[in-house]
Amino acid sequence: MMTRRRARSWPRSGAADRRTKPFVRGLIGLLLTLVASGCATLKRTDVRLASAKTVGIVSAIGDDFTFTRAGLTAPTEAERHSPVGAWGLDDLITIRMGLLLGGRYQVEGLTYSRAPFATKEAVSPFAVSSAVSKLTSASENRLSDLVRTQVAPQGLDVYVVLTRAASPYGSRSRIVTGVGVIERVAVLGSSGQLHALYTITVIDGHTFKVIGKEQAAALEGDELFRLKGPSREIGAELLSAAQTPAGSDTLKAAVIDLIDRGLPKTLQELQLIDQPKP
Amino acid sequence: MRQVVRNVAAAAFVMVSAARAAAQSANSFIPSPSGLWTLAIGANFDGQPAFEGSKSDKLTGVPIFSLGPAGGSTERFRGPLDSASIALFDYEGFSAGLAGKTKSARTAANYTELNGLDDVKMAIELGGFVQYFPTDWFRLRTELRRGFGGHTGVVADFSADVLVPVWSRLTVSGGPRFTLASTQATAPYFSVDAVQSAASGLPVFDAKGGAHSAGAGTQVRYQITPKWEAHAYVEYDRLLGDAAASPLVEQKGSPNQLSLGLGASYSFDFHLP
């Protein structure tokens, strides 16, 4: 009876209701689709990773250290780049990721040219074009192509690729990428923020489809301005060392510590390693 | 009624989306829903003229609710009088996109100065913005908006702000403001027709568009902790042209318009799978 009464009352409701309900239904449908697509992605990742046995690791956060100034700076001031290839950062990351992944997978050594993976991707200034690029997974396709053509051996179940990520900073939201330091210049002194921003992409070694992608999240630290990725405030000593980073073991240790602290959580998000037991 | 609801919904969408998106890079525009997001909640308490041209003030409380992709959001500059906006183009300090704001309804029964004048409905102004940061410490911004509802004219705001980080936690900003408004955006608030004249005792006045106001504003922002932020602002505008010459302003109001605001917000990150 209740159902019948409701069915009868429906045509008598006002025009606004008749217009609103399809809208609400559409909205709910959209939300359900979003949730379902998220769940579907997770399940796909889970299934493929569950059957995976061999894993290869590519690390290309780059051999470049950026020193950027924000705040009271000259309009012409540009970021400075310093080579830090001597740090062997990518080799260290490969070893650390190998240790983390070794508990579940057989980690195989890879041969590849790092430069193509470390290339900075061009980003369109037009939001629509950028969004379309994301929807068409242009960036993911580029990495998949590189894994297919530049990495040996082929045929592993999964390839895990670590590349530089980006984050906005400063009052006008400029973009900083990878490893470096931001110096914020104020009237009463400066402050420094060390960052190591990276994304991990998981690629199916047989179909070369991207089955997972996660940008390392900000750490639960005390930095005043949060970047979209691991960062921490640094004192005057490290800020000074960042001017000539290649020779500073302290700075190198601080960068490795940042990456180390972010890696387990990012790999957990990608379901590559298990959640730690409480 | 439905039109009003639709307008309010549209404006609310713009405002909620905009706080974080205002200066957002194209790099992270229209992000995937999965990932890390930042939600900021808080409140603003504003003291401002009871209506445009009034010499009395009213106090309003406005909730702060903004949602955006995590990272960098705490540093983004936003002027206290900026419309809610979304950048569609963002490159090297130059950005442009959509902007929208609401203008409160003016109810004659609420103020004795308005006795005999008509009510003016709430207006929703929609349009676009262009802003340019030649450096981190200087911003130029202009907005062009068309009104719907209370007025159907065009309004153009121009502002310049110098941003001075006094130290890492404290930033002081401020600069000049200037507004142009068309006749259709000015007349509903400042014209007095024959019927209104007879009812209010004010002389008949036909307000035309042109220079609307000029002034200056300053804002202080303090980052208390990585999650707590407090801010305060003062904005002064002097009405110009026919807005200032209106008998409503000359006889019962004031061309000097002062707005004060105080607010705080708490932001936290959450992860969407």
User: What CATH number is associated with residue B139?
Assistant: 2.40.160
- Whether the pLDDT of residue A26 is over 70: the answer is no
State the CB neighbour count (10 A cutoff) for residue B264. 16
Is residue B34 domain-resident? no
Q: Do A191 and B164 touch (CB under 8 A)?
A: no
Please state, in angstroms and rounded to a whole number, the distance separating the CA atoms of residues B115 and B6: 31
* Residue, of B196 and B32, whose pLDDT is higher: B196
Residue B14 and residue B143 in contact, taking contact as beta carbons nearer than 8 Å: no
Residue located via tokens 């507004």? B179
Range 82-141 of A in CB contact (< 8 A) with B: 123-131, 134
* Residue, of B15 and B69, whose pLDDT is higher: B69
Please state, in angstroms and rounded to a whole number, the distance separating the CA atoms of residues A79 and B65: 34
Please state, in angstroms and rounded to a whole number, the distance separating the CA atoms of residues B49 and A199: 50
Which residues on chain A are in Cβ contact (under 8 Å) with B18? Answer: none
Q: What is the pLDDT of residue B210?
A: 97
Q: Do B165 and A225 touch (CB under 8 A)?
A: no
Is residue B197 domain-resident? yes
State the CB neighbour count (10 A cutoff) for residue B126. 17
Please state, in angstroms and rounded to a whole number, the distance separating the CA atoms of residues A71 and A52: 48
Sign of CA dihedral A89, A256, B272, A277: positive
Q: Do A38 and B164 touch (CB under 8 A)?
A: no
The 3-state DSSP class for residue A12 equals helix
Can you tell me the mean pLDDT for B9-32?
A: 38
Of B24, B29, B33, the CB nearest to A131: B29
Minimum mean pLDDT range among A23-27, A187-191, B66-70, B174-178:
A23-27
Q: What is the pLDDT of residue A168?
A: 85
Q: How many domains would you assign to chain B? A: 1
Q: What are phi and psi of B180, to 5 degrees?
A: -110, 145
B116 exposure class (CB count in 10 Å sphere: 0-12, 13-18, 19+): middle
**pLDDT band with cut points at 50, 70 and 90 for residue B235:** very high
**Measured CA distances, A252 to A78, A179, A230, B268 (Å):** 23, 10, 15, 30
Q: Do B136 and A71 touch (CB under 8 A)?
A: yes
Is residue B53 domain-resident? yes
Q: Do B167 and A187 touch (CB under 8 A)?
A: yes
Q: Which domain holds residue B54?
A: 41-63+87-268
Torsion-angle region of A73 (φ positive above 0: left; ψ -120 to 50: alpha; else: beta): beta
Is residue B77 domain-resident? no
Please state, in angstroms and rounded to a whole number, the distance separating the CA atoms of residues A67 and A244: 9
> For A86-99, how does the pLDDT look when each residue is reduced to its tens digit (9 = 90+)?
999 999 999 999 99
Is residue B30 domain-resident? no
Is residue B55 domain-resident? yes
Report the chain A residue with the minimal C-alpha distance to residue B70. Answer: A228
Calculate how close chain B gets to A74, using CA atoms only, in Å. 7
Q: What is the pLDDT of residue B30?
A: 40
Is residue B15 domain-resident? no
Neighbouring residues of A10: CB distance < 8 A, sequence distance ≥ 6? none
Neighbouring residues of B71: CB distance < 8 A, sequence distance ≥ 6? A167, A168, A218, A226, A227, A228, A229, B28, B36, B38
Q: Do B72 and A16 touch (CB under 8 A)?
A: no
Which spans in chain A are helix H? 2-12, 15-51, 89-101, 114-118, 127-135, 138-150, 236-241, 249-269
Calculate how close chain A gets to B200, using CA atoms only, in Å. 39
- Would you give the distance in Å from CA A130 to the centre of its chain? 17
Please state, in angstroms and rounded to a whole number, the distance separating the CA atoms of residues B75 and B223: 9
Q: What is the pLDDT of residue A21?
A: 55
B35-49 and A210-215 as β-strands: parallel, antiparallel, unpaired? unpaired
Residue A62 near chain B (CB below 8 Å)? no
Residue B90 and residue B25 in contact, taking contact as beta carbons nearer than 8 Å: yes
The 3-state DSSP class for residue B193 equals coil
**pLDDT band with cut points at 50, 70 and 90 for residue A221:** confident
**pLDDT band with cut points at 50, 70 and 90 for residue A64:** very high
DSSP secondary structure, A61-129, as one string = S-SEEEEEEEES--TT---EEEE-GGG-HHHHHHHHHHHHHTTTSEEE--B--HHHHHPPPP--SBHHH
Of B32, B134, B166, the CB nearest to A75: B134
Residue A275 near chain B (CB below 8 Å)? no
Can you tell me the mean pLDDT for A108-118?
A: 92
Q: What is the pLDDT of residue A219?
A: 85
State ipTM. 0.73
Is residue B211 domain-resident? yes
- Would you give the distance in Å from CA B31 to the centre of its chain? 26
Q: Do B24 and A173 touch (CB under 8 A)?
A: yes
